[in-house]
Structure 1
Amino acid sequence: MLATFPAYVVITAWPSAAILIVVHSVLGLLNAVYVGPLLSALAELFPACARATSVALAFSITAMIGALSPAFAAWLIASTGDARSPAFIVIAAAVLSILVVHRYKDKHEEALL
Structure 2
Amino acid sequence: MKFKIYYLLILLFPVSVNAATYVSGVSTTITRIDTHHYGKADGDVRISVSDSVPGCESGYFITADSQSIEKALSIALSAYHSGSKVVIGGQSGIQWDGTSRTDYCHVHSISLSK
Instruction: Report the TM-score when normalising by structure 1.
Output: 0.25
Instruction: Report the TM-score when normalising by structure 2.
Output: 0.25
Q: Which has the higher contact order (CA 8 A, sep 6+)?
A: 1
Q: Which has the higher helix share?
A: 1
Larger Rg: 1
Q: Which has the higher strand share?
A: 2
